[in-house]
């Protein structure tokens, strides 16, 4: 039995979209590292010392790691909002802000754009704070 996506809380739809963003991060990072280190390295057991990454693959790895730093908080907040029946309003806005900022952050990091990238990261944190404020009933 399929559930109508329109009846699902928006926070859960954004959570699903965030998994796609995670897969994009993993794909870009994996492909760029394989391009630099070679298919044999990727397919092998990787027992030897890992060669350092070049510029693009290094950025992709750091962008992925940065995504993973806030991703657990987003997952927890999205699920908590649904479980506490506090979806909508500022919580939904916060979820949209978080994922939108995270989508923008990736190319900024890959292109090596300073300052704006940091500002976008702060915007994503503001999204999490809006979700938290909604969860605690501050707004």
53, 33 Cβ separation under 8 angstroms: yes
Rounded to whole angstroms, what are the CA distances from 128 to 71, 81, 98, 119? 10, 12, 6, 15
Query: CB within 8 A of 120, min separation 6: which ones?
Result: 101, 104, 105, 108
pTM of the model: 0.92
Domains of the chain (ranges, CATH numbers): 11-135 (1.20.120.550)
Range with the poorest average pLDDT among 10-24, 29-43, 91-105: 29-43
Band the pLDDT of 3: cuts 50, 70, 90.
low
How large is the angle between the packed helices 10-37 and 55-83, nearest 10 degrees? 160
What confidence score (pLDDT) does residue 49 get? 81
Rounded to whole angstroms, how far apart are CA atoms 119 and 129? 15
What confidence score (pLDDT) does residue 41 get? 85
Instruction: Examine the pLDDT at 116 and tell me if it is beyond 70.
Output: yes
For 18-47, how does the pLDDT look when each residue is reduced to its tens digit (9 = 90+)? 999 999 999 999 999 999 999 998 898 888
Name the token pair of 81: 């909002």
Mean pLDDT of the chain: 95
Instruction: Examine the pLDDT at 91 and tell me if it is beyond 60.
Output: yes
Rounded to whole angstroms, how far apart are CA atoms 29 and 35? 10
Q: Taking phi first (over 0 means left), then psi (-120 to 50 degrees means alpha), and beta for anything else, what does residue 105 get?
A: alpha
18, 100 Cβ separation under 8 angstroms: no
Range with the poorest average pLDDT among 16-30, 42-56, 84-98, 123-137: 42-56
Rounded to whole angstroms, how far apart are CA atoms 99 and 53? 27
């Amino acid at each position: 039995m399929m559930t109508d996506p329109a009846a699902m809380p928006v926070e859960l739809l954004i959570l699903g979209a965030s998994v796609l963003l995670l897969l994009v991060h993993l794909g870009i990072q994996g492909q760029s590292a394989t391009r630099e280190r070679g298919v044999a390295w990727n397919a092998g057991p990787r027992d030897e010392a890992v060669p350092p990454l070049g510029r693009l693959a290094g950025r992709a790895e750091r962008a992925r790691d940065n995504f993973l730093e806030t991703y657990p908080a987003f997952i927890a907040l999205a699920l908590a909002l649904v479980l506490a029946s506090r979806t909508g309003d500022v919580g939904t806005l916060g979820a949209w802000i978080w994922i939108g900022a995270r989508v923008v952050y990736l190319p900024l990091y890959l292109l090596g754009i300073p300052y704006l990238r940091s500002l976008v990261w702060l915007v994503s944190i503001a999204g999490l704070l809006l979700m938290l404020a909604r969860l605690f009933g501050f707004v």
